[in-house]
Amino acid sequence: MDSSKTIVGHLEELRRRLLVVIGCFLLFFAIPLVFPNFFDSYAARLLKFLFQHFMPKAGEFGLLENPKLIFTQPLEPVFAGMKVAAFLGLAAVSPVLAWQAYAFISPAFSKKDRILLAYVAFGSLFFFAAGAVVAYLLLIPVTIDIFIKFGTAAGAVPMIAMGSFTNFLFWMIVIFSLPFELPLVIGMLARAGVVSAKLLRTSRKTAILIIVIFSALITPDPTPFSMLVLSACLILLYELGIIVAVFTGKGVAVSAARRKKKA
């Protein structure tokens, strides 16, 4: 975003960058939806893989047979495939979106602030992806097992609709991944002068207590496994946030400005 441009020039640049993002998303959305063919697309294969990966096998929890993935409406498989393709498209286009946003906004900032801006733009992708990996490997399987076990204990037979399964899966990824943005949030608050590395260190015990309570509230597992996994991850991210606050804190920026002024 060049300060020498007019408002019309900024709007034209914004429109161009948005078209690039939208075009890339449509491309990444269409490829898994229609290739190698519409009736056996990569999106459908991924949905089948995820269901088989997360669902318990026959014999577990007293199941006589494996849970079945069903659809109750004619268009439900199409919409489920589109949801999977949209999720893949969003994941693939997110670096493009981050770059376009950074390229549009960065000219309005100083060279030093551009580093922080790049951290915000690309760091958010990294932390969200890390949260998605932890959720996929550890938290979602435990959550689904608990829900299936609870249902079968009541005598129900697990037959899960495609739309419900995709909605549940993607919402779980979002819910478990957003807390992983903690270092990014701490860095922005430290830059704004709301918190400092010293304050975060002195509040460590309180923060750990809040993290454990938060983890217990959002994890449905009655055993402490998923709560401890999420708590450990968030505590590590809190410590990382303290390190980030050291470098992005307002006090650091003020000290640097004073040294520059004296020089």
Enter the pTM of the model: 0.84
Contact by Cβ (8 Å): 191, 116: yes
Q: How far is CA 179 from CA 12, 29, 51, 127, 134, in A?
A: 35, 27, 25, 9, 12
16, with CB counted inside 10 A (0-12, 13-18, 19+), is exposed
Residue tagged 């779980």 (tokens): 172
- Rounded Cα gap, residues 205 and 210, in angstroms: 9
Give domain limits for the chain.
7-262
End-to-end CA distance of the chain: 31
To 5 degrees, how large is the angle CA 18–CA 20–CA 24? 120
- 3-class secondary-structure state, position 173: helix
Identify the pLDDT of residue 113. Answer: 77
What are the residue ranges in the chain where pLDDT is below 70?
A: 1-5, 250-263
What φ, ψ does residue 49 adopt, rounded to 5°?
-65, -45
Distance CA 3, CA 205 (A): 45
CA dihedral 36, 173, 27, 24 (to 10 degrees): -160
- pLDDT score, position 119: 81
DSSP at 194: S
- For residue 124, give every residue at least 6 positions away whose Cβ sits within 8 Å of its Cβ, in sequence order, or none: 98, 181, 184
Cα–chain center distance at 69: 26
* Antiparallel, parallel or unpaired: β 159-161 and 68-70: parallel
Distance of CA 6 to the CA centre of its chain: 36
Residue 257 to residue 263: CA distance in whole angstroms: 10
What backbone torsions phi and psi does residue 223 show, to the nearest 5 degrees? Answer: -80, 160
Query: Can you tell me the distance from the alpha carbon of 245 to that of 239, in angstroms, rounded to the nearest whole number?
Result: 10
